[in-house]
Amino acid sequence: MNRLYYTSHSPINAYFSKNSRDFVVEEIPLYEFSGNGEHLILKIRKKDMTTWELVQKISERVGCKVKDIGYAGLKDKDGVTTQYISVYKKYENKIKNIQSQNIKILETFYHNNKIRIGHLKGNKFYIRFKKVSLVDAKKIENAVGIIEQNGLPNYFGYQRFGLDGNNYKIGKEILFGKKFIKSRKKRDFFISAYQSHIFNLWLSKRVEISKLFASFSLKELELLFIYPKEMIANIKNQPIFFKMFLGDILHHYPYGKVFECLEINSEIQRFEKRELTITGALPGKKIIRANDMAGIIEKDFIAECESVINKMNGSRRFAWIFPEILTQAYKKEEAWYEISFFLPKGSYATVLVEEILHTKKL
């Protein structure tokens, strides 16, 4: 699908490739490791391999079961990535067998618990754009400044949908009984892609609505929307680009609980301070649904899967995030533009890159 950009600049001419020189990821753990316990934590740097491939190699070389290996999240195959893996302490003497040209153990720790999916704060990224002219370097700097000030729509990246982008279609066919896949793991994978697709469609619509409120006058907005005049003025005057509606399901940022927006004026101030954010639905049974005006918009996107919604485990996902830009620099001699930044867990660096460059060719 074509995700709608919220920034308004023209496409930027720069070359970006996810390789070991120009794309580096470092996982930030959720907590400090205790220093004792039955689990051995490995801080591993891998190159040009998926987390699944890494886990499989660890299983083969130390002789443990794949299910006994813990990790917090799946990392990109391309580039250099550092992440934390847990195995039982009894395999410590065999850990040296893991080392290879593409796998290096940087540190080890002991801990009480196995690392589980989601046990991370987020990830630090380093990216390098190449073939960047002085004019385009300035455009990149301006785009990064806008994102740093206003935040970023938290779309699922293209990786979620497969090389041909059709994983979500398979998920939909499974849900509606038009396709059968024996492996539960594969079924869940394709169904999650379908949920991600629904989320992206909804988020793109919310970005579109926010762009309209940013671009048009009150009189023009009154012709576009059937909302009461006071509500239109309230939404128009919100200081954050991504507009909040009554009934939105909010979430303390970056951690905390979800709750419904019952009064916009106080919540929008907390949104501006980055104390909370708006969430979108990954459709499924027992999800907390948006209400009021936000619920009307959300319902339109959940409608197509309403008849099979009990076949999915749904959740809420941050719709809007606030990347932390750590460093950025233009190297004129090499025509490089380098950026390092932090994103909360579950967010995609490629989405930020696409928002900067306004290109899907990654």
What the block records as the tokens of 336 is 């490089």
Residue 362 confidence (pLDDT) above 60: no
Question: Domain check: are 180 and 276 in the same one?
Answer: yes
Number of domains in the chain: 3
CATH number at residue 340: 3.30.70
Q: Which helix (H) or strand (E) covers residue 235, if one does?
A: helix 229-236
Question: Domain check: are 200 and 284 in the same one?
Answer: yes
Helix (H, G, I), strand (E, B) or coil at 49: coil
pLDDT digits (tens, 9 = 90+) for 341-350: 999 999 999 9
Confidence of residue 114 (pLDDT cuts 50, 70, 90): very high
Q: CA-to-CA distance for 136 and 10, rounded, in angstroms?
A: 10
Residue after which a domain boundary falls, among 59, 93, 117: 117
Instruction: Give the domain range for residue 334.
Output: 127-149+324-357
Question: Domain check: are 160 and 305 in the same one?
Answer: yes
**pTM recorded for the entire structure:** 0.92
CATH number at residue 219: 3.30.2340.10
By C-alpha distance, which of 250, 258, 13 is closest to 136? 13
By C-alpha distance, which of 47, 283, 281, 308 is closest to 173? 308
Instruction: Note whether residue 300 is domain-resident.
Output: yes
pLDDT score of 135: 96
Question: Domain check: are 183 and 288 in the same one?
Answer: yes
Question: Domain check: are 204 and 251 in the same one?
Answer: yes
Instruction: Note whether residue 12 is domain-resident.
Output: no
What the block records as the tokens of 91 is 């395999």
Question: Domain check: are 196 and 278 in the same one?
Answer: yes
Beta bridge partners of 327: 340
Question: Domain check: are 297 and 341 in the same one?
Answer: no
Question: Domain check: are 250 and 310 in the same one?
Answer: yes
Q: Which helix (H) or strand (E) covers residue 45, if one does?
A: strand 39-47
Question: Domain check: are 183 and 203 in the same one?
Answer: yes
Tell me the catalytic residues: 76
Instruction: Note whether residue 13 is domain-resident.
Output: no
Question: Domain check: are 50 and 183 in the same one?
Answer: no
Question: Domain check: are 72 and 167 in the same one?
Answer: no
Q: Which helix (H) or strand (E) covers residue 10, if one does?
A: none
Residue 210 confidence (pLDDT) above 80: yes
Instruction: Note whether residue 45 is domain-resident.
Output: yes
Residue after which a domain boundary falls, among 97, 117, 137: 117
Q: CA-to-CA distance for 152 and 3, rounded, in angstroms?
A: 12
pLDDT digits (tens, 9 = 90+) for 15-59: 999 888 999 999 999 988 999 999 999 999 999 999 999 999 999
∠ CA 183-196-345, rounded to 5°: 100
Question: Domain check: are 296 and 192 in the same one?
Answer: yes
